[in-house]
Chain A
Amino acid sequence: DAGVTQSPTHLIKTRGQHVTLRCSPISGHKSVSWYQQVLGQGPQFIFQYYEKEERGRGNFPDRFSARQFPNYSSELNVNALLLGDSALYLCASSLGLGFGSHSGANVLTFGAGSRLTVL
C-alpha cells in the first residue's frame, strides 16, 4: 500500500509568488493535516481537514489556505511568499479525527515533505 505522498518534493520560488503543495493520504484515511517545519525546530501545525471540512487551524496568516477534495487528497496554498516561508512542509493522514480519545485511529502517518525555498 502506498503511504502518504506529497508533491513536489523540492521547489524554489521568489518573494511574492504563490505556491501550491499537494498531498495524497493513505487509502481509507479521511483526515489530512499540514505542518510547517523550519530548520532546527519541530513541526508546527497549520491545518487539519476531515471529511472535506476544516477542523483546525494553527497560528498562521491568511496567506495560508488549504482544501480537501472528495477523494480526500489535499492542497496547501501559500500566497505572497516571504523569505520566512522557506521550510519543509509536511502532510500527515490518519483514520480518526482525534477527539482526545486514546485510539490508534489518531496515529499520524507523515509524507516525505515538500521542501520550499523562497529567494
Chain B
Amino acid sequence: GIQVEQSPPDLILQEGANSTLRCNFSDSVNNLQWFHQNPWGQLINLFYIPSGTKQNGRLSATTVATERYSLLYISSSQTTDSGVYFCADHAGGAQKLVFGQGTRLTINP
C-alpha cells in the first residue's frame, strides 16, 4: 500500500519564524489533505490539495503530484500553531486516508 513519509519529525521555533513541512508519497497522489491536530486531539482539515498551490492566511500548501510530494508553509508562526501536522492521501476505492507519522511543531513565545 501507499507509504507516506513526513519530515522533519519535530520542529521547535520561536514565534514569528517561518517553517516548511514536507510530505513524500510512495505512489501517485489522489486526494492529498493536510491536517493540524491540536493538543486536545482535534484534527482540523487545513487544505485539500491534490495538485497546485493554495493559500489560507499565513498558511499555504503546494503539491507536486508528478514528483509525489507536498509542502506546507507556515509564515510568521504563532504559539497557537503548535501541535502535530499530518498529511494524508486517499488509497484505493474506499475512503481510506493513509496518514504520515506527523510533524510535531512547537512554537515558543
Q: CB distance A42 to B86 under 8 Å?
A: yes
The answer to whether the Cβ of B68 comes within 8 Å of any Cβ in the partner chain is no
**Please, which residues of chain A bring their CB within 8 A of the CB of B98?**
45
The answer to whether the Cβ of A31 comes within 8 Å of any Cβ in the partner chain is yes
Give chain B's interface residue range (CB within 8 Å of chain A). Answer: 20 to 34
Knowing A42-B102, A43-B43, A107-B45 are in contact, say whether A100-B30 is a contact too (CB < 8 A). yes
The answer to whether the Cβ of A56 comes within 8 Å of any Cβ in the partner chain is yes
Q: CB distance B90 to A113 under 8 Å?
A: no
Nearest B residue to A98 by beta-carbon distance? B95
Complex formed: what's the CA distance from A93 to B96 in Å? Answer: 12
Q: CB distance A55 to B43 under 8 Å?
A: no
B72-109 contacts to A (CB < 8 Å): 86, 88, 90, 92-102
Complex formed: what's the CA distance from A88 to B95 in Å? Answer: 19
Give chain A's interface residue range (CB within 8 Å of chain B). Answer: 20 to 34
The answer to whether the Cβ of A24 comes within 8 Å of any Cβ in the partner chain is no
The answer to whether the Cβ of B41 comes within 8 Å of any Cβ in the partner chain is yes
Complex formed: what's the CA distance from A43 to B96 in Å? Answer: 11
The answer to whether the Cβ of B31 comes within 8 Å of any Cβ in the partner chain is yes
Knowing A102-B50, A110-B43 are in contact, say whether A45-B97 is a contact too (CB < 8 A). yes
- List chain B positions with a Cβ less than 8 A from chain A: 4, 30-31, 33, 35, 40-45, 48, 50-51, 86, 88, 90, 92-102
